[in-house]
A and B are shown apart, each in its own frame.
Chain A
Amino acid sequence: MTVRIAPFFVLALMASAQDRSLSSDADIRWLAFSKDGATLNAVCSDNKLRQWDVHSGALRKTQEFADGGRAVGLQAMSGLLALGGRGGVSIQEIATGVPVRKIATGDRRPNSVAIAPDGQAIAGSTRAAGNARDEIMRLWDAAGAQRWEAANGIGGVSTMAISPDGSVLVAGSYDTDVRVWSTRNGELIKLIQELPVSMFGMAFTPDGQSLATAGVDRIVYIWDAKSWKLQKKLTGQQEMISSIAYSWDGKQILTGGFNDITNKHPTSILLWDVASGKILKTMPSPHRVASVALSPDGKLVAAVSGDKTVRLWNVR
């Protein structure tokens, strides 16, 4: 007799049960470890920042966002949070809650932004006026001066990031194109048009040499961040990829899934070895993964899935 095992159960057996979890009173949108790895910061839907002690799991602090703003961007490696509020975007250090600066963006305040790692600039895309769905990308410096604006395709930004050295801004659009601009003068350095689908997440290696993007087609694309040529594709995720993060040494990638039926379907979180393209660990998620993070020492994976729980796995 042949025993047939449904693929789901095979996946469930292979997947690793979470090692611990942390609970929040509100849904969690984004995660970021502190630079020393001792604290896990969570940006929550109730406009509060929750901070847990990673070692003990104790909730250390819950604080309101500065100026009553709402979260519009996160720079995980630098630990900076952008808050959209009246008159502009505030940048605050999430570890301490201390406002770093406020950038006045006038009445063109974007809904989502990319923050330079040093917090000295932000970029945001807004829809142009009229019936068309044209988008305009703008970049402001720390003094709130708009440095440049540029046409940004149609349909809106799906994901964006500024390189670790602050020199380039990359944005993926729902029209599936990816644009690379000089942050200094807005020069379009590269227009990547060969992607067939939208990218939902992107992350630079900490040294800025590579950019990983991933989205609807379940593939992780790794780009040379100087020539903007495709270096490598990682395949193996069974669902669309909704979030992505590099390890702090740039050698591993963490991806979170998004089932294409509904965000309530189970998905998975994968830890990849970039050099070999192998999947090192598969971790289950009950829903679409909203945010993933690796601790600075690479030992701990944290993920949130559109709910009030942070799931943690030891991966070394």
Chain B
Amino acid sequence: MKTATRREMLEKCIVRGGLLAGVSMSDTRLLAFWQEAEKSARKPTPSEVLGPFYKKGAPNEAVLHKPGMPGFPLKVTGKVYNSRGQKVEGARIDMWQADHAGRYDVVGFKYRTKLVVPANAEYSIDTIMPGHYDDRPAQHIHYLITAPGHKTLITQNYFATDPFFEGDVDKNFRKRGVAENRDLVLPVTLYETGTPSASVTFDIIMEKA
């Protein structure tokens, strides 16, 4: 493994906010800072296309799947961090997806939310597995995430259980140019007791502005 030089350690610690420029420090102390920064550093969530169906003005709503509505229940949970591994305060998650039949609500706000993320930076959205549609035949959910002091993140997540990936996500995630990044195809937990449902965990890593 390549050993970092003192200069590289200093640069990384400063860039990631673990150290202020101009502070003098022993090599041992600097190494400890650098190792801590390396441990907590997180790669920003890859961005993906915004797509044509983003709609402004969605309500702040965590439960999008109401009783009696068709679709396979899905819970999306996660935390919003920055690339230093710190929780991000004041994030808003604009989320939109197709319904079970692969249709976006372009008139109202069905399966659309602009969620205020609580102070603990953890979010949870009750929705359904999005349906398939011809133009983008993999199930996916869109996100536009904003937070004070951070770059706006536009991304999507996909589902490893989607038949589109033919049981081999590594091989097929780029099929038909649908997903751009393997990391965005999430493992799915299925629950068979009671009403069958699914859940995914989607931690969001934002970059400082």
- Hey, which bits of chain A sit against chain B, CB under 8 A? 131-133, 154-156, 158, 174-176, 195-198, 200, 216-218, 240, 260-264
The contact of A261 among B46, B51, B103, by CB within 8 Å, is: B103
Q: Is B188 an interface residue (CB 8 A)?
A: no
- Contact indicator A154/B154 (Cβ below 8 Å): yes
Known A-B contacts A217-B107, A261-B103; the reply to A156 vs B134 at CB < 8 A is no
- How many residues of chain B are within 8 Å of chain A by beta carbon? 26
23 contacts between A and B (CB under 8 A): A132-B152, A133-B152, A133-B154, A155-B50, A155-B54, A155-B154, A174-B51, A174-B54, A175-B50, A176-B55, A176-B56, A196-B56, A196-B57, A197-B56, A198-B54, A216-B53, A216-B55, A216-B106, A240-B106, A261-B101, A262-B133, A262-B135, A263-B134
Known A-B contacts A154-B152, A176-B56, A262-B135; the reply to A197 vs B106 at CB < 8 A is yes
- Contact indicator B49/A156 (Cβ below 8 Å): yes
Apart from A131-B47, A133-B50, 15 more pairs, CB < 8 Å: A131-B207, A132-B153, A133-B154, A155-B154, A156-B50, A174-B52, A176-B55, A195-B56, A197-B56, A217-B106, A260-B106, A261-B101, A261-B102, A262-B102, A264-B134
Please report the C-alpha to C-alpha distance between residue A174 and residue B142 in the assembled complex, in whole angstroms.
Answer: 13
Q: How far is the CB of A197 from chain B (nearest CB, A)?
A: 5
Question: In the complex, which residue of chain A has the Cβ closest to the Cβ of B132?
Answer: A262
Q: How far is the CB of B39 from chain A (nearest CB, A)?
A: 22
- Contact indicator A198/B52 (Cβ below 8 Å): yes
Question: In the complex, which residue of chain A has the Cβ closest to the Cβ of B109?
Answer: A196
Q: Work out how many contacts link A and B, with CB atoms closer than 8 A.
A: 71
- Hey, which bits of chain B sit against chain A, CB under 8 A? 44, 46-47, 49-57, 101-104, 106-107, 133-135, 151-154, 207
- Contact indicator B56/A158 (Cβ below 8 Å): no
Question: In the complex, which residue of chain B has the Cβ closest to the Cβ of A132?
Answer: B151
Main secondary structure of the interface of B (DSSP, over half): loop
Known A-B contacts A131-B47, A261-B101; the reply to A158 vs B135 at CB < 8 A is no
Residue numbers in B under 8 Å from A158 (CB-CB): 52
Question: In the complex, which residue of chain B has the Cβ closest to the Cβ of A173?
Answer: B50
Find the residue from B52, B55, B57, B135 having the highest chain A CB count within 10 A.
B52
Residue numbers in A under 8 Å from B154 (CB-CB): 132-133, 154-155
5 closest A-B pairs by CB: A155-B50, A262-B134, A174-B50, A133-B154, A196-B56
Please report the C-alpha to C-alpha distance between residue A155 and residue B155 in the assembled complex, in whole angstroms.
Answer: 10
- Contact indicator B56/A260 (Cβ below 8 Å): no
Question: In the complex, which residue of chain B has the Cβ closest to the Cβ of A174?
Answer: B50
Please report the C-alpha to C-alpha distance between residue A216 and residue B50 in the assembled complex, in whole angstroms.
Answer: 14
Question: In the complex, which residue of chain B has the Cβ closest to the Cβ of A262?
Answer: B134
Please report the C-alpha to C-alpha distance between residue A218 and residue B108 in the assembled complex, in whole angstroms.
Answer: 13
Residue numbers in A under 8 Å from B102 (CB-CB): 261-262
Residue numbers in A under 8 Å from B51 (CB-CB): 174
Residue numbers in B under 8 Å from A263 (CB-CB): 134-135
Please report the C-alpha to C-alpha distance between residue A261 and residue B53 in the assembled complex, in whole angstroms.
Answer: 12
Please report the C-alpha to C-alpha distance between residue A200 and residue B53 in the assembled complex, in whole angstroms.
Answer: 11
Find the residue from B46, B55, B101 having the highest chain A CB count within 10 A.
B55
- Contact indicator B54/A176 (Cβ below 8 Å): yes
Q: How far is the CB of B203 from chain A (nearest CB, A)?
A: 16
Residue numbers in A under 8 Å from B53 (CB-CB): 197-198, 216
Residue numbers in A under 8 Å from B133 (CB-CB): 261-262
Question: In the complex, which residue of chain B has the Cβ closest to the Cβ of A200?
Answer: B52
Residue numbers in A under 8 Å from B50 (CB-CB): 133, 154-156, 174-175
